[in-house]
Amino acid sequence: MALVRRRSSPSSLERIVNALSMAAMGGLVGAVTSSAAPVVFDGHIKVRVAPASRRNSASTLRDRSGPDRHRRSEPALLPKKNQLEGAWPTLLTSPSTKGEGEPPRSRRSEIMASNSAHISSDKRFLIFFDFDETIVDETSDDMVVQAAPGQHLPAWLKDTYQPGRYNEYMQRVLSYLAEQGVTESDIRNIMEKIPATPGMVTLFQYLRTRPQTDFEIVLLSDANTFFIESWLRRAGARPLFHRIFTNPATFNRDGRLVLRPFHSHDCPRCPDNMCKQVVVRDYVARRTQERGRPYQRVFYVGDGANDFCPALSLGPRDVAFPRRDFPMHRLITETHEAMPGEFKAVTVPWVSGEDVVQRLRKLVAE
């Protein structure tokens, strides 16, 4: 029996109405691009955010898994990701900017800076994509279970899952698969066969045909490098992405895929290994500083509850593209109903990637 994370009821949003006002998240990307103040990682890849209440801090937002009725298959037998769990925690406040006494940046942050510096500075728009159930129509962590004996995990392994520690749980799953003789080739074959989300190929084709000065394209996912790279290269879509931010994963000498957290942070809502909002804010600030000017618009295409967190940092000229009726869309809708004006970005729900193309055509032409 699959371990399913329970969803929060719509009334849970009322608990965070006051926190929304206090967090003042609306328009943060716009503010960042004006000030170009970078978010800095320390030597432990840890990001500090302003103090916030830790009530319900165990509740986290996962990056994937939309409603079960949208899922094409259920090989998963993994905890459902990207559902709303329990009461909503206090909202993240603005991450700290550089100040006196701040430790030097980590090597990973230095690499982020050097890599982004090689991207052309003449791009007009910045667009972020989630991966699972956004680019692909399944959850890659669920799909890898197809490599297990009988295409399911033993109950003792599923029982080791703890809320907020999904990354650690997946490390145990990958270790188990290696012990069962699952090879790198086996996992790659599964990843390569995941179907693209409807209309996503059309969206990618549209982005490819645009002038080089239009879109800077970034992938931001709580999956891992091996899963994502395997799918993108098979689909021929890897060159489209200027940057990919996800959890590092490499095979060790024993043939086991070793998964590591992307970073640590102090956001009380997000899983321990990744807060997407921190990544978005850091990247936008860094690129604005490198470019010497802000982007005309920032777009975010996602589906999950954890995609709502970075979307909160978008400004009124930016656009959030939530997959219709998935957690990100529900959270935005509830926020609009509870506190009109608190979610600043224009919201464009999508069922197919073609819906995104239609809106991008209009925005590019403006």
Q: Which candidate in 42, 63, 130, 186 is catalytic? A: 130
Give the pair of three-digit tokens for residue 320. Answer: 């959030």
CA-based radius of gyration for the chain: 19
Q: Which candidate in 132, 142, 307, 355 is catalytic? A: 132
End-to-end CA distance of the chain: 51
Q: Would residue 130 show up in a list of annotated catalytic residues for this protein? A: yes
Nearest to 58 by CA among 159, 166, 132, 130: 166
Q: CA 194 → CA 110, 139, 141, 222, distances in Å?
A: 33, 9, 11, 17
Give the pair of three-digit tokens for residue 72. Answer: 């094409």
The answer to whether the Cα torsion of 69, 73, 77, 83 is positive or negative is: negative
DSSP state of 144: G
Give the pair of three-digit tokens for residue 25. Answer: 């998240």
List of residues 6+ apart from 211 with CB closer than 8 A: none
d(CA 68, CA 79): 12
Contact 63, 134 (CB under 8 A): no
d(CA 328, CA 64): 10
User: Which position has the token pair 């593209």?
Assistant: 321
Give the pair of three-digit tokens for residue 172. Answer: 């145990």
Active-site residues, by number, are 130, 132
